[in-house]
């Protein structure tokens, strides 16, 4: 019996998706819950697995094809995995499918060899796609991620070091986007922009063209927070089951308190209406192999420092593995972006519509500062608040940022809410 494999139901905000890569070929044996295909949307990569043991009978939508919710993408023939003579149903459809059927034996052999290797490390979806494009196998790449997981950066390092496949009997994987002649030493490669990168570009352009964006700056002395963290970090980690005390939780809590005092900064514009949110959902910008993503801390005003730190770490790991869900990246009333982790000293963050403000954190750097008439060396951080001037006046924006500064320079005020 053939089972229809359909695209998952996509949220209303995501009209369609793209077939990123098939992990099986037509005619390959599959097991229940085994990964078949990655579907890329504007926000996340969705993994579709086999519903039963059998054979991937037919691929209806190839890599690069656009799909919509619940659209048929493949057929799995249940219980035929051990028959040994299953052929792709698409073999009689056209020459393209015939080619797939002719190459089925070699492809299946390669797949079995890879899956049966005891030394092969797991690959993230982005890493797997890049490795396949360059003809690399998992066992040829040293993984630096959690539990030896191979990241996109690991694949890129392997490519740069010349660790190409082809030494075995398996034929190298053909590239959809071939590079220029490498003998000249001037290599170029043309690849389509990923849906996530395209969406990010669209939203950033939209923000710059449709908002009256302005940025105000201030600086904060991080010595009080750093001293508090150094004093209690070991006890904090033991008390909260290994959760480490970082700086982000202090910033989230400071932002929550400041948003309560200045509700316009926590609002959004919907057409000619202003929507004031009675809750604080804080988006935290996280770097992933696919680009920048912004998972959301729901009801951050009800979260403890430990809960904030634990959730941010969870989101970071999910982002690296491409496991963030739609719900985790939907919504948000305010965003925090930390360019300091990459060494940025100062920047002007761009708004994340329909939000009306975003806070930019930066590198902590020791600088000579005047304190009570004396020069002291203090760990200082520049803060930047970009805001939509249509919604927020300059006075409110400055007072909001000063509030965050005051709370961080005297962390007890966060606890006391004063």
Q: Which residues are catalytic?
A: 389, 393
**Preceding peptide of 354 cis, ω within 30°:** yes
Residues 349 and 337 sit within 8 Å (Cβ to Cβ): yes
Contact between residue 285 and residue 355 where contact means Cβ atoms under 8 Å apart: no
Q: Is the distance from CB of 69 to CB of 54 less than 8 angstroms? A: no
Residues, the chain: 418
Q: Are 243 and 229 in contact (CB under 8 A)?
A: no
317 by Cβ neighbours in 10 Å (0-12 / 13-18 / 19+) ranks as: middle
* φ and ψ of 194, to 5 deg: -65, 160
Inter-residue contact 294 to 338 (CB < 8 Å): no
CA distance 267 to 275: 6
Residues 6+ apart with CB under 8 A from 377: 366, 367, 368, 369
Phi, psi values for residue 25, rounded to 5°: -110, 160
- Are the C-beta atoms of residues 259 and 392 closer than 8 Å to each other? no
């Amino acid at each position: 019996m053939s089972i229809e494999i359909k695209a998952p139901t996509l949220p209303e905000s995501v009209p369609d998706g793209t077939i990123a890569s098939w992990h099986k070929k037509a005619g390959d044996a599959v097991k229940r819950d085994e990964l078949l295909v990655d579907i890329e949307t504007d926000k996340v990569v969705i993994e579709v697995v086999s519903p039963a043991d059998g054979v991937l009978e037919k691929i209806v939508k190839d890599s690069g094809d656009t799909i919509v919710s619940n659209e048929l993408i493949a057929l799995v023939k249940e219980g035929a995995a051990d028959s040994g003579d299953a052929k792709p149903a698409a073999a009689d459809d056209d020459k393209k499918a015939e080619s797939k059927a002719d190459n089925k034996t070699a492809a299946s052999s390669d797949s079995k060899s890879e899956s049966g290797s005891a030394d092969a490390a797991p690959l993230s979806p982005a890493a797997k796609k890049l490795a396949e494009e360059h003809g690399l196998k998992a066992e040829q790449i040293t993984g630096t991620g959690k539990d030896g997981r191979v990241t996109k950066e690991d694949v890129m390092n392997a490519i740069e070091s010349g660790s190409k496949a082809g030494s075995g009997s398996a034929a190298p994987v053909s590239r959809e986007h071939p590079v220029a002649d490498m003998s000249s030493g001037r290599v170029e490669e043309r690849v389509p922009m990923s849906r996530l990168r395209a969406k990010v570009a669209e939203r950033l352009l939209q923000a710059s063209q449709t908002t009256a964006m302005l940025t105000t700056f201030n600086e904060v002395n991080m010595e009080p927070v750093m001293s508090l963290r150094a004093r209690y970090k070991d006890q904090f980690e033991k008390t909260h089951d290994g959760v480490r005390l970082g700086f982000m939780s202090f910033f989230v809590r400071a932002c929550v308190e400041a948003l309560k005092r200045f509700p316009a900064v926590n609002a959004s514009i919907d057409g000619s209406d202003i929507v004031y949110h009675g809750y604080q959902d804080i988006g935290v910008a996280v770097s992933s192999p696919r680009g920048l993503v912004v998972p959301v801390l729901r009801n951050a005003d009800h979260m403890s420092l430990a809960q904030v730190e634990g959730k941010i770490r969870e989101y970071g790991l999910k982002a690296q593995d491409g496991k963030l869900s739609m719900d985790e990246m939907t919504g948000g009333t305010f965003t925090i972006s930390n360019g300091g982790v990459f060494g940025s000293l100062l920047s002007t963050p761009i708004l994340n519509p329909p939000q009306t403000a975003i806070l930019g954190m930066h590198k902590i750097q020791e600088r000579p500062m005047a304190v009570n008439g004396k020069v002291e060396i203090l760990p200082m951080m520049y803060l930047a608040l970009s805001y939509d001037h249509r919604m927020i006046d300059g006075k409110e924006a400055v007072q909001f940022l000063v509030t965050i500064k005051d709370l961080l320079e005297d962390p007890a005020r966060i606890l006391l809410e004063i």
